[in-house]
Structure 1
């Protein structure tokens, strides 16, 4: 497998199951602006609140093959291996499938990840050790703290300023590399750099 960033905006995601596993998957998907449908006779209180708020669609029923006919991504998250296999067997040939019960049965995994604004760092052991993935995540969260959110916004704006300047390519590369210095995690240093560069840009 290869790590990949996937844009799920307005994509139809169908989750089969309404328990705690489904809840965790759906909670992580809410920020993707995907169109989430849950198929399950019952759902957790949290999922019911998502449904009440219009964040997800809930089909209060057992799984049927036509529930996934238009899905872009299918997540099997029931506690019944037979039902999960039914879903996989009924899935269209080229659809993305995440199997919460047996990761190797799907063709896509959800890695644990650290997110700080524009910065995303994914960690996956391909199902070998979720505990190790969690341990690595906790270490990364300490190293890449909340300051990185504003820092990445600064880097994004600074990169545009540098790219649009009349500096030669060698100087542009030099400035871009300079900005990776950790001193620019400081908000004041960021503001000073932008003021200085825009004042004296050529």
Structure 2
């Protein structure tokens, strides 16, 4: 008997004092960083090179950039990790390390290696609404987020 796939549970977490680490600085990493900077005071990006957008966020004091290649030591004090490199082997290493250390991880290139997912966000002041279609219909979820933003 095949088990019915359950929808994702919406859970809100206080990340304000949690150490969030993003490994990578490409398009997907920047999208995750843009989402996260509104919710944590401790966001580190690990990448040998970054673009101007991330440099501006660093100058504004919103993120810390460690201009280097990833090393497992970079995650020792992490509470939440985003593996967003274009190297699948490196992302798998990050995932394995986080699982061993009990650190929540999201591997952007593999939804099967995620302890959590990013919802579509609608925010107005302290009201935050997260929307997901549990990985099945991103266009529908995006349309719902836009409607909610209009209402807010």
Mapping 1:127-166, distance limit 5 Å? 127-142=135-150, 144-145=151-152
How far does residue 73 in structure 1 lie from its aligned partner after superposition?
A: 0.3
Rg (Cα) greater in structure: 1
Q: Which has the higher contact order (CA 8 A, sep 6+)?
A: 2
| Alpha-carbon separation, structure 2, partners of 1:95 and 1:12 | 11
Give the aligned CA root-mean-square deviation in angstroms.
Answer: 1.6
> Residue 36 of structure 2: SS of its match in structure 1?
helix
TM-score (norm 2): 0.86
User: How many residues are matched?
Assistant: 144
List runs of 5+ in structure 1 lacking aligned partners: 146-202
TM-score (norm 1): 0.66
| Alpha-carbon separation, structure 1, partners of 2:109 and 2:138 | 13
How far does residue 75 in structure 1 lie from its aligned partner after superposition?
A: 0.4
How far does residue 88 in structure 1 lie from its aligned partner after superposition?
A: 0.5
Task: Please give the per-residue CA displacement for 1:6-44, whole angstroms capped at 9, x wherever unaligned.
Answer: 101121001000112111111111121330111111112
> Residue 6 of structure 1: SS of its match in structure 2?
coil
Aligned to 2:132: 124
Aligned to 1:164: none
Match of 1:36 among 39, 43, 47: 43
Is the CA contact (8 Å cut-off) linking 2:72 and 2:94 kept in structure 1? Answer: yes
Aligned to 1:159: none
Task: Please give the per-residue CA displacement for 1:58-83, whole angstroms capped at 9, x wherever unaligned.
Answer: 11111111111110000011122111
| Alpha-carbon separation, structure 1, partners of 2:137 and 2:47 | 29
